[in-house]
A and B are shown apart, each in its own frame.
Chain A
Amino acid sequence: MNNAHIDVRTVLFWGISAVILLILPQLFPLGYLVNAMITTVVWIIFALAFDLSAGHVGAVSLGHAVFFGVGAYVAAIAAPQLGLGYFGSMGLSAVTMGILALIAGIAFFRIAEVSFAIGTLGALIIAQQIANNAYDLTNGPMCIQSVPNPTIHLPGNAISVTQPVEYYYALLPLLLLTLIVYRLLTTQRIGRAFASVREDEVRASAMGVHPLRYKLLAFSVGGALIGALGSFQAQYITVVCPSELAIDYTLTMLIIVFVGGAGRMRGVVIGAILFNTLPRILENIGGGTIPPAYQQVIYGLILLGVVLYMPDGIDGLITRLTGGRKSKRQVVTDA
């Protein structure tokens, strides 16, 4: 997209989306609905940050939950001791997780492709076992209870965040930041460099694009965003458990990103929204809750169906149905 002449439809779309996001909790001020909205926004941020490396530079890390879980632990352990407020805590988690991602990236990008996925998953298992057993630091499976409710320091006064609606509005800045960063990194020159690294690293470096540099950029920015999200989660749930490092997060992200459409912002956002609303809709139709195991089977089958028959995900389907212009980006699923 050329910035010189901005598409009217695009402006309209983002404007309407922003208004909906802002007034939604006012239309449905029920606690559980607002909590559902928060979860959805959490997953949108999580999946977009994951997609930066998985969908754009082709580095499918299976250990991204490390940044989320460790970010949450940083917010639960270090931030209160430093007396940081809501945004300070997020910043601390973002910086530490960004640095961790940078170091991990330097180590893990030495190994190619498959080994990268296996190695990052190994790192997640390590983090999980430490969280479960380092009682002095993390309280193990007893969890860190009572993370203080966040306060937002404004010039003049400090607001204490306690209600779901307040949490919702407090999370929106991170969503905005994620969307902007995602847009900046995936379009224009950097976006083209990302795509060239994803498609063929050797060819990319022959064209003067340094693959490692771009992979590290995507990986550490994604890590920092997820770290900030982990900090939000810690302050929102106010309990941090080793389960924040569960492999389930990795699987959920794969489902959202690949079903939605890897490497496409619209697809990833739709994937996250569907993932959170579909079970609730099904429950309303079926008139009862679906046991988690059945839900997982359905998710697994949907994922397989998408991989086999819809490699571009839902986003690709929308593009085809609306007869929209073919995406310039090639699909991540190409060899």
Chain B
Amino acid sequence: MSIELEIFLETIINGLTLGALYALVTMGLALIFGVARLVNFAHGDLFMIGGYALFVLLGVEGMELPYVLIVPLVVIVTMAFSWIIERTVIHRVINQSWRVHAVATLGISIVLQNIALILFTTDPKQTPTIFSRQIIEPFGVRMSMQRVIILVVVIVVFLGLQYFVRRTKLGKAIRAVSQNRDMCAIVGIDVKKIVMITFVISGGLAGLAGALLAPLYSVTPMMGSLLTLKGLAAVVLGGLGYINGAVFAAFGLGIIEALFSTYVSFAFKDVIVFGIFILFLFFRPQGIFGRRVGL
């Protein structure tokens, strides 16, 4: 295989992994936005907490937990954090305007990032797993096993989420709330509880993303900031709360970013991502698929 083709394929795989990461982050953001019209600027920090939870759990002396067992634990930890955040802050501001949402979640973000900074300093923490060290070469393209796992997990989670919101009773309630809150309250759906559950699920998804991605990169207190913004960009591009649209946009952004990094300039990759985002909004403010109601 020619070297050009190899580079191209590796770039595409990088783009898909990146897209998968953005998709996982954006799914949670779109879910909670769809249900509660909440823009969560602290979402990336739950991703960061997932990364540190992985780091701590990997480092536990004496009991070498397998990675496949640690990942669900990380998800539970971030869900617990989300629950605390929801109980202390989110549920009190949920009925107010987006401005209050933005300020409150940015406040949470400041607190979480700086507590992480105090506990773990700015030194990047490495969290290698057996899969991130394992290199496979299908069709002559080198990639780490971790990337394959990420892609598979994201597809499984996406399909699982589809099944959950369409087929299960709780999922149907979540969709109903996203479509018409007042009507839900009238027919006896506990809207506040649904919002809480959605927020916790959304946080769990961010934690899962952290546990999957940290082995490829490293964990730092600020690792979530830019990711929140890219995830939110995908949410807006996808049509504000429409999960499938957001996931589509996330993969699009990931692949564009990877292609641009390889062939044009690595240093300016975020310029192109947000440049496209802003240009797109200028010509199509309603997002790729237009605005919809509900999930």
Residues in A lying within 8 Å of B, measured CB to CB: 54, 58, 60, 62, 107-108, 110-115, 117-119, 121-123, 125-126, 129-130, 132-133, 247, 251, 254, 258, 291, 293-294, 296-297, 299-301, 303-304, 307-308, 311, 332-335
Contact = CB atoms under 8 A, between A and B. Distances in A.
B261 interface: no
Given A111-B236, A254-B103, A334-B96, 8 more contacts: A115-B240, A117-B39, A117-B102, A121-B229, A132-B267, A133-B267, A254-B106, A303-B103
A223 to B, nearest CB: 17
A13 B93 CA distance: 36
Contacts of A117: 39, 98, 102
Interface stretch (B14-22, B73-81, B190-198, B268-276): B268-276
Given A121-B229, A125-B270, A247-B225, A115 B97 contact: no
Nearest to A120: B278
Contacts of A121: 229
Contacts of A251: 106, 110
A294 B271 CA distance: 32
Nearest to B265: A133
A74 B39 CA distance: 34
A295 to B, nearest CB: 8
B268 A130 contact: yes
Given A110-B282, A119-B277, A307 B100 contact: yes
Given A126-B274, A296-B114, A297-B115, A303 B281 contact: no
Contacts of B115: 297
A133 B272 CA distance: 13
B89 interface: yes
Contacts of B268: 129-130, 133
Contacts of B39: 114, 117-118
B111 interface: yes
Given A297-B115, A304-B111, A125 B99 contact: no
5 contacts: A115-B236, A115-B240, A122-B277, A304-B111, A332-B99
Interface in B112-128: 113-115, 117-118
A118 B229 contact: yes
A117 to B, nearest CB: 6
A123 B99 contact: no
B98 A114 contact: yes
A118 B232 contact: yes
A129 B233 contact: no
Contact of A122 (B93, B265, B274): B274
Interface string B261-295: 00001011011001101100110010000000000
A333 to B, nearest CB: 5
A122 B265 CA distance: 18
A293 B222 CA distance: 12
B125 to A, nearest CB: 16
Contacts of A301: 107, 111
Given A303-B110, A333-B100, A111 B285 contact: yes
Nearest to A117: B102
Contacts of A294: 114, 118
Interface pairs A-B: 5 shortest CB-CB:
A300-B110, A300-B111, A122-B274, A133-B267, A303-B107
Contact of A123 (B110, B240, B267, B278): B278
Interface string B16-35: 00000000000000000100
A125 B274 contact: yes
A307 B108 CA distance: 11
B104 A307 contact: yes
A117 B111 CA distance: 20
A334 B97 contact: yes
Interface string B228-261: 0100110010001000000000000000000000
Contacts of B225: 247
Contacts of A54: 99
